[in-house]
Amino acid sequence: MGEDVKSAFRREALRAGFDLCGVAAPTPLASADYLRDWIGEGRAGDMKSWLGRDVESRVTPLHLLPEAKSLIVLGLNYHQEPPLRRGRIARYALGKDYHDLIPPKLELLDAWLKERGGVQRRALDTSALLEKPAAVKAGLGWTGKSTMLIHPRLGTWLFLAELLTTLELEPDTPVRDHCGACTRCLEACPTRAITAPYQLDASRCIAYLTIEHKGSIPQEFREAIGDRVYGCDDCLTVCPWNRWAVETREAGLAALPRPDLREMLEWDDARFRSEFRGTPVFRLKRGRWLRNVCVVLGNIGTVLDLPALERAAADADPLVAEHARWACDRIRAR
């Protein structure tokens, strides 16, 4: 199964809405021991339980589909300019949830390969497969010093998805590292989560603290969170390779309108669910979202926000109440 099928598939992938397509052999992606050591050193934070499960499958594509002959990696550009409003949300999460937008595209491509005799296994970031090493192997870019994938044309703004297939396709050539002497991502990280080039302590990362972390945000990081209410794009935004970034062509990712943070403090669980259903924020649930809102208002809020924060300080959810009290103290101190 050669280049003709591969070229036709690449056109089909673009038609389905993806912006990049690469192919690699389904050989191991990384060292299982390296991943175990990274988790063992505590750099995965609360994620250690699920990242530590089935490590071999994360690094070995053939564990997911033993008959696979090729690993197809797909990239979807999500870049857009964020709206001007209080409380920054990471660009990937401004619109609808990509976990709902990408699977139908994969299903179309799976069906296309099936018509040509292939058996496939689909993967998104909810599966075991390590997607960034897979993308590097398939020639979609290189691992930057931020540990993010960098594509020479689309920069850092990429969702990744994979198809393991029993069809044999010609592998693409990996792209060499073009970071050079640049250290902008390390210098831009507000919490110094990028501890050295190509080294990330996820437990310090604002994306982790505002999304994956389930408990109280450590005091040492609250001020550094600034106005970032969900995730952080700082190491991405400063990357020089984003100078050529273009707007996403996926309409479902367009930024949805949102009320001001102060109004959100008044929301009960039903209102939160109604407002954020179908978006990445929905997985936080009300408690963690309002926790983040309180931290941001503690950093950028004014006396006009105090009445809403004072009511939140009596919230039935102790996570919300504790962060609201902290925010009140911060505003009063200013």
Q: What is the Cα–Cα distance from 232 to 12, expressed in whole angstroms?
A: 33
For 194, phi then psi, to 5°, come to -85, 95
Cα 176 to Cα 88, 141, 170, distances in angstroms: 33, 8, 19
Does 125 participate in catalysis according to the annotation?
yes
Q: Do the Cβ atoms of 68 and 26 come closer than 8 Å?
A: yes
Q: What is the Cα–Cα distance from 35 to 58, expressed in whole angstroms?
A: 9
Kindly state the tokens that stand for 151: 């594509």
Give residue for tokens 């941001």: 296
- Which one is catalytic: 4, 37, 125, 260? 125
Length of the chain: 334
Alpha helix stretches (DSSP H) within the chain? 3-16, 32-40, 48-51, 55-59, 98-115, 131-137, 184-188, 206-207, 219-225, 234-237, 261-264, 269-276, 285-300, 306-312, 318-333
Other CB atoms within 10 Å distance of the CB of residue 302: 10
Active site residues: 125
